[in-house]
């Protein structure tokens, strides 16, 4: 029955369902992944001379060091879970990342593990890195000869929650520190891994001065190779950047 005592017709029911659908369409869900705010300060890049812009389904954030880009994908979520594109060539090309990736790598590390600062000398790689599980502090150091930001670094938080990716071009050393109890790290590369071409810089090089978020009293867990890396000033030959 209607409010006026009239028997509901099929048209009344359809109209009511239409109105209900319109209300649902305009109401925002409790959690919309595509618009979710993460804890990192959104103006960090702008404060450091960078910018933020949208390219297709990705948000691109630059910083004070030319070439570095932080990518945030659009995430579509509902009560079943979520879906996102981790890589779309067209969107990345529009963002200036027009590269062919030839190898995908993945690693797992426990809390306190610090891997870096690494690069290949004769076979430099562009890298697109992200975290599948856990959280890391990710760092890139500019080693490009003649660059106005040579020897400077930029760091960002990558996590399974924020789903950000970090594009690190050729000419940079790269490393990360695991902040969570456990982290799985994945990255795409534009050249293959060459075991005899592995170069690195000391993670604590005072000239570079990376501000690793290491808790007081904790020693980072390093590989034997990373324990004995030279500083940037000591680098020679192909491993000089």
Catalytic residue ranges:
118, 187
Listed in sequence order, the DSSP H helices in the chain are 10-26, 44-47, 89-94, 224-227
Calpha distance 40→46 (Å, rounded): 13
In sequence order, what E strands does 85-152 have? 103-110, 114-120, 127-133, 135-142
Q: Please name which of 98, 161, 41 lies closest in space to residue 87, comparing C-alpha atoms.
A: 98
Calpha distance 230→60 (Å, rounded): 33
Q: Could you tell me the sign of the dihedral formed by the alpha carbons of 72, 93, 65, 208, in that order?
A: positive
Q: Please name which of 161, 115, 168, 150 lies closest in space to residue 235, comparing C-alpha atoms.
A: 150
Angle at 87 between CA 210 and CA 104, to 5 degrees: 65
């Amino acid at each position: 029955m209607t409010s006026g005592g009239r028997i509901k017709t099929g048209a009344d029911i359809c109209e009511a369902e239409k109105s209900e659908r319109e209300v649902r369409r305009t109401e925002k869900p409790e959690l919309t992944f595509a618009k979710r705010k993460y804890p990192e300060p959104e103006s960090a890049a702008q404060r450091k001379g960078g910018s933020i812009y949208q390219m297709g389904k990705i948000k691109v954030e630059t910083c004070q060091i030319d070439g570095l880009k932080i990518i945030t994908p659009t995430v579509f979520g509902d009560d079943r879970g979520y879906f996102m594109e981790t890589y779309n060539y067209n969107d990345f090309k529009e963002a200036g990342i027009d590269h062919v990736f030839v190898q995908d790598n993945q690693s797992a590390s426990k809390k306190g593990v610090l891997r870096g600062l690494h690069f290949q000398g004769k076979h430099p790689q562009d890298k697109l890195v992200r975290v599948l599980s856990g959280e890391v502090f990710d760092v890139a150091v500019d080693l490009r000869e003649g660059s106005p930001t040579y020897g400077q670094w930029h760091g960002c938080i990558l996590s399974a929650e924020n789903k950000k990716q970090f594009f690190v071009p050729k000419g940079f050393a790269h490393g990360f520190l695991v902040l969570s109890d456990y982290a799985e790290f994945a990255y795409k590369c534009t050249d293959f891994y060459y075991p005899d071409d592995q170069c690195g810089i000391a993670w604590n090089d005072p000239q570079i001065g990376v501000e690793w978020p290491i808790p007081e009293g904790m020693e980072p867990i390093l590989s034997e190779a990373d324990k004995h890396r030279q500083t940037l000033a000591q680098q020679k030959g192909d491993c000089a950047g």
